Chains A and B, each alone.
Chain A
Amino acid sequence: MAKDLRHFLETYEQDHPEDVVTIEKPISLKHEIGILVDKLDKERKFPLLRIKNAILCNGKPSEYEVIMNEIGSRGKLAYAMGSNWEMVSQDWRRLALENKQDPVVISREEAPVKKEILKGDDVDLHRYPAYQPYLMLSHPYISLAPMITYHPEAGIDNMGIHRGEIQSKNRIAFLFSPDNHNSMNFWKSEQELHQNMKCAVVAGLHPNVLMASQTKMGYPESHFEACGGLLGEPLRLVPSETLGDDFMVPADAEIVFEGEIKAMKRTAEGPYSEYTRHIGAQRWCPYMEVSCITQRQDPIWSNYAIGRNHAFQGLAREFRVYDIVKRVVPQVTRVYLLPHAGGSDGLGFCFIQIKKTAEGQARTAIHSALTSNYSVKHVIVVDDDVDIYDERQVFWAVATRAQPDKDWIIQTDVMSSIVDPSIDNHWGSKAGIDATRPAPPEPFLVPTMFPEEDMKRIKLNDYVPQDQLEKIPDAFRKVDVEE
């Protein structure tokens, strides 16, 4: 059995039933689903949601099951690729880039996604349980379905996730940020070759295929091969129905939308709920006209908890930042993009841990990290006695090991995320904080500490029983304020 979304759902539920919530009670995909995810987010919980009776944004019952949060935590991504919480970004890099596998092509008869084929008037995007989670959004959005395009000259595949606004029964508007490879393929098609761009939007994929779609590859370089690396087996492909036999799509997807992005055409897209947790402005965007839909029997649809997701996009950038900074400053030991500071993108803060041996290393790491990716906006470098996965420890280091007039670095007029609400015209500024102690042998105060033997000997549960410990309120949560 090929690794597909259903395989992941089945095995994850078997191994982690505590992290799966099945909802039978009807819930609307317009606003109600957003509120549910937001309330879970406030509890700092991102369980896999299996919604059996979703109500479409137009008020009709959904024909299909809806899931959310299958990539909603660092732990689930680690599970999907057989890694662990700390190593998941490094393993992502290793598997996607160093363990690539060529895809295999199977026949249409064997491909699960060819069970139902819809063309012409049977194409109706309003059937699908796309969501509209916040106010001021005009249409339902496709949020977690990678778009496949091919380099117009080299013929190499590319996959990338773009939000898609379903504007009619066969039209989807997409936002392309300028540096992504689907955008570059569209530029070549439209501006150099003066033709429409063939594309397929693929919904319902194994988390590892989603991760492969978010792996920053060279241009042009195959994402299908990265899928095989992350899955640990070749990605199964099948020829499209309307885009030609050389246009391949994943055979084990739940749904494939085939069509073309129209050259020299733009439509008004948005406002949209960006990952920054702000409503982004309406803007001109290209759009796809869908010519064919192929799908499984009773396909499963996934919506992405945009801005509430705990890990996905930031984690994709984490290993890239690590690779670049480590190359420049080998003393760097860990990199962590704080997932909730800038929505899900790591836009807010990048933490770097370093075992400093000479002055200047932390500052060099700051500059390297800030220029490693347009969306890395703030960097904090700490010593190796600070746990960078615990922001309380990181901000303790900022408070006690940095002086703002000497240790803060500002970069101005650099490329930034196009959805950062605080920028003008795609240009912005960035900042770094060197929160490290002086390099040895320069003396510095030591942190409070305990005798090592006593630390091992004293067990918390000997004094505070586990059942009582679990009932003690979290001191950092507001418990006396009603919602």
Chain B
Amino acid sequence: MKVAWITCPKCHERFYVELLMLKETHPLTGTKPFCRCPFCLAEFKAKDAERVEE
């Protein structure tokens, strides 16, 4: 499964997401790329992450 490890810019915890969530607009709904930190619930885009490891 292709995932990316993300470091949250707010609480600095690491978690992972499907790559699609970071890079592409949702093909059916037009949802813009974003993710949500499971630790502090901050929502952010890949460019705002402290670190992205693919």
Which residues of chain A come closer than 8 Å to B21, judged between CB atoms? Answer: 268, 282-284
Q: Residue of B at shortest CB range from A282? A: B17
CA distance in complex: A284, B28 (Å)? 11
A358 at the interface (CB under 8 A from B): no
CA distance in complex: A190, B28 (Å)? 10
Q: Say whether, besides A138-B41, A266-B31, A282-B18, A425 and B26 are in contact (CB < 8 Å).
A: no
Q: Say whether, besides A283-B17, A425-B2, A138 and B39 are in contact (CB < 8 Å).
A: yes
Q: Which residues between 2 and 54 of chain B lie within 8 Å of chain A, taking CB atoms?
A: 2-3, 15-18, 20-21, 26, 28-31, 34-39, 41, 43
Pick the contact of A284: B3, B16, B20, B39 (CB < 8 A): B20
| Cβ A281 vs Cβ B16 within 8 A | yes
Which residues of chain B come closer than 8 Å to A271, judged between CB atoms? Answer: 15-17, 38
Pick the contact of A138: B16, B20, B30, B38 (CB < 8 A): B38
| Cβ A282 vs Cβ B38 within 8 A | yes
Which residues of chain A come closer than 8 Å to B17, judged between CB atoms? Answer: 268, 271, 281-283
Q: Residue of A at shortest CB range from B5? A: A281
Q: Say whether, besides A138-B39, A271-B38, A421-B1, A283 and B18 are in contact (CB < 8 Å).
A: yes
B31 to chain A, nearest CB (A): 5
Pick the contact of B1: A137, A284, A423 (CB < 8 A): A423
B37 to chain A, nearest CB (A): 8
Which residues of chain A come closer than 8 Å to B31, judged between CB atoms? Answer: 265-266, 284
A264 at the interface (CB under 8 A from B): yes
| Cβ A424 vs Cβ B1 within 8 A | yes
A136 at the interface (CB under 8 A from B): yes
Q: Residue of B at shortest CB range from A265? A: B29
CA distance in complex: A283, B24 (Å)? 12
Q: Is the interface of B mostly helix, strand, loop or mixed?
A: loop
| Cβ A137 vs Cβ B20 within 8 A | no
CA distance in complex: A138, B37 (Å)? 8
Which residues of chain A come closer than 8 Å to B29, judged between CB atoms? Answer: 264-266
Which residues of chain B come closer than 8 Å to A422, judged between CB atoms? Answer: 1
Which residues of chain A come closer than 8 Å to B37, judged between CB atoms? Answer: 138
| Cβ A137 vs Cβ B26 within 8 A | no
The 8 A CB mask of A184-224 against B (1 = contact, 0 = none) is 00000011000000000000000000000000000000000
Which residues of chain B come closer than 8 Å to A268, judged between CB atoms? Answer: 17, 21, 34-36, 43
| Cβ A264 vs Cβ B38 within 8 A | no
Pick the contact of A282: B2, B16, B26 (CB < 8 A): B16
Q: Residue of A at shortest CB range from B43? A: A268
B1 to chain A, nearest CB (A): 6
CA distance in complex: A137, B41 (Å)? 11
Which residues of chain B come closer than 8 Å to A281, judged between CB atoms? Answer: 1, 3, 16-18
Can you add 5 more A-B contacts, CB < 8 Å, to A282-B36, A284-B20? Answer: A138-B41, A268-B35, A281-B16, A282-B18, A283-B20
Binding site for A on B (CB under 8 A): 1-3, 15-18, 20-21, 26, 28-31, 34-39, 41, 43
A-B contact pairs, 15 of them (CB 8 A): A136-B38, A190-B28, A191-B28, A264-B29, A266-B29, A266-B31, A268-B36, A280-B1, A281-B1, A281-B17, A282-B16, A283-B18, A422-B1, A423-B1, A424-B2
Binding site for B on A (CB under 8 A): 136-138, 190-191, 264-266, 268, 270-271, 280-284, 420-425
Going nearest first, the 7 A-B pairs with the smallest beta carbon separation are A138-B38, A268-B36, A282-B17, A281-B3, A283-B18, A266-B31, A264-B29
